[in-house]
């Protein structure tokens, strides 16, 4: 297993504040929850952890506050073996995500950006990108920063990867800079303007490189050049918590590609990794190791 350069994740780092509850409350209703926990999160941090646990060399660029949450997140990344030289300390507080996990394993999330709202692509970020094998981004950072990072990755000859979550106004202009686009089904519809998942995948792949639409229990669609080229089935598991499943998919996918796998093999590994993650509570803490994924793959 070899890797030409680090996977560089430029993205969000949040402290997740997680409640377990039977359902979402009605407006004005106070509900008794059944559990509470905190944990490292943010789509960028999650993807970095997933890629690192899947065996890749990973560096993280982002921002946290000068507060307890920020110090905890920095320590978490370093304990995972992820490079943090480009993780800045901001005057803004560390971002948080309030995650409601329902009894059926589904979730709803409210994010407060905090330090993640910093819009500058710093020199430390550019230095990381210049030697990266892949540059991985999401949309929990400002759109202009994401665009500059993708352009820098393209200039450096790195594989550029985008999870368009959450979909924001103007996000479609990023597509020509993206080698691999990984939306979920609702994000694909919102970004493409289509009403059907397959049509959305085809439309998006006319502007981006490869498009992989994750669809939960319905598996994933892969599109390229305006055509559906493969449909990958999901693995059947008993879901405990779906938080971070999509981020696990992306991190494992890019780790497998960076270590020399072809796309079909990488998507199969990503599907296995995501299936493992939903059987455990939490986001980053629930992500599987490479050995666990390989055991599932056989």
Residue 116 marked in a binding site:
no
pLDDT surpassing 80 at residue 3: no
Residue 88 marked in a binding site:
no
Domain 7-12+42-93+117-297 has CATH 3.40.1190.20: yes
pLDDT band at 2 (very low <50, low <70, confident <90, very high): low
Q: Which of 103, 179, 238, 247 is flagged as catalytic?
A: 247
Average pLDDT taken over every residue of the chain? 94
Strands 220-224 and 210-214: antiparallel
3-class secondary-structure state, position 88: strand
Residue 107 marked in a binding site:
no
User: CA 269, CA 267: separation in Å to the nearest integer?
Assistant: 5
User: CA 98, CA 20: separation in Å to the nearest integer?
Assistant: 11
* Domain residue limits, the chain: 7-12+42-93+117-297
Could you report the per-residue pLDDT of 203-224, keeping only the tens digit for each? 999 999 999 999 988 889 999 9
Asked if 247 is an active-site residue, the reply is yes
**CA-based radius of gyration for the chain:** 18
**31: which residues sit within 8 A by CB, 6+ positions away?**
21, 22, 23, 25
* pLDDT computed for residue 106 by the predictor: 82
pLDDT surpassing 70 at residue 1: no
Residue 243 marked in a binding site:
yes
User: CA 20, CA 262: separation in Å to the nearest integer?
Assistant: 38
pLDDT band at 236 (very low <50, low <70, confident <90, very high): confident
Could you report the per-residue pLDDT of 142-179, keeping only the tens digit for each? 999 999 999 999 999 999 999 999 999 999 999 999 99
Long-range contacts of 286-289 (CB under 8 A, 24+ apart): 286/241, 286/243, 286/244, 286/248, 287/46, 287/49, 287/50, 287/53, 287/244, 287/248, 287/251, 288/53, 288/54, 288/248, 289/53, 289/54
Of 59-63, 282-286, 289-293, the least confident: 282-286
Exposure string over 74-101, b if 16+ CB within 10 A, otherwise e: bebbeebebbbebbbebebbbbbbebbb
| In contact, 53 and 288? CB cutoff 8 Å | yes
* pLDDT computed for residue 109 by the predictor: 84
**43: which residues sit within 8 A by CB, 6+ positions away?**
11, 12, 138, 140, 163, 165, 247
- Please report, to the nearest 10 degrees, the dihedral formed by the alpha carbons of residues 101, 87, 158, 121 taken in order: 100
Q: In Å, what is the CA distance from 13 to each residue of 78, 87, 177, 226, 249?
A: 13, 10, 23, 34, 18
The separation between the first and the last C-alpha atoms of the chain, rounded to the nearest angstrom, is 17
| In contact, 51 and 58? CB cutoff 8 Å | yes
Residue 218 marked in a binding site:
yes
Please compute the mean of the pLDDT values over residues 38-43 and round it to a whole number. 92
Residue 280 marked in a binding site:
yes
pLDDT surpassing 90 at residue 140: yes
| In contact, 175 and 207? CB cutoff 8 Å | yes
């Amino acid at each position: 297993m070899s890797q030409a350069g680090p996977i560089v994740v430029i993205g969000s780092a949040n402290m997740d504040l997680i409640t377990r509850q039977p359902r979402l409350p009605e407006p004005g209703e106070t509900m008794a929850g059944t559990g509470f926990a905190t944990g490292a999160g943010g789509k960028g941090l999650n993807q970095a952890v997933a890629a690192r646990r899947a065996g890749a060399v990973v560096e993280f660029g982002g921002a946290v506050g000068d507060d307890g949450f920020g110090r905890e997140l920095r320590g978490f990344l370093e304990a995972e073996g992820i490079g943090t030289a480009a993780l800045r300390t901001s005057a803004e507080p560390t971002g948080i995500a309030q995650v409601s996990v329902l009894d059926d394993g589904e979730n709803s999330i409210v994010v407060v950006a905090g330090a993640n709202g910093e819009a500058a692509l710093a020199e430390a970020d550019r230095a990381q990108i210049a030697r990266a094998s892949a540059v991985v981004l999401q949309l929990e950072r400002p759109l202009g920063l994401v665009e500059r990072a993708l352009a820098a990755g393209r200039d450096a000859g790195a594989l550029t990867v985008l999870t368009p979550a959450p979909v924001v106004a103007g996000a479609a202009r990023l597509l020509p800079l993206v080698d691999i686009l990984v939306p979920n089904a609702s994000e694909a519809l919102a970004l493409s303007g289509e009403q059907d998942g397959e049509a959305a995948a085809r439309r998006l792949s006319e502007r981006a490189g490869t498009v992989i639409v994750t669809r939960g229990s319905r598996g994933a669609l892969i599109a390229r050049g305006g055509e559906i080229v493969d449909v990958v089935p999901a693995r059947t598991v008993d879901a405990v918590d779906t938080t971070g499943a999509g981020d696990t998919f992306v991190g494992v996918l890019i780790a497998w590609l960076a270590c020399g796998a072809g796309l079909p093999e990488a998507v199969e590994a990503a599907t296995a990794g995501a299936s493992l993650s939903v059987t455990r509570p939490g986001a980053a803490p629930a992500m599987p190791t490479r050995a666990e994924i390989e055991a599932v793959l056989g």
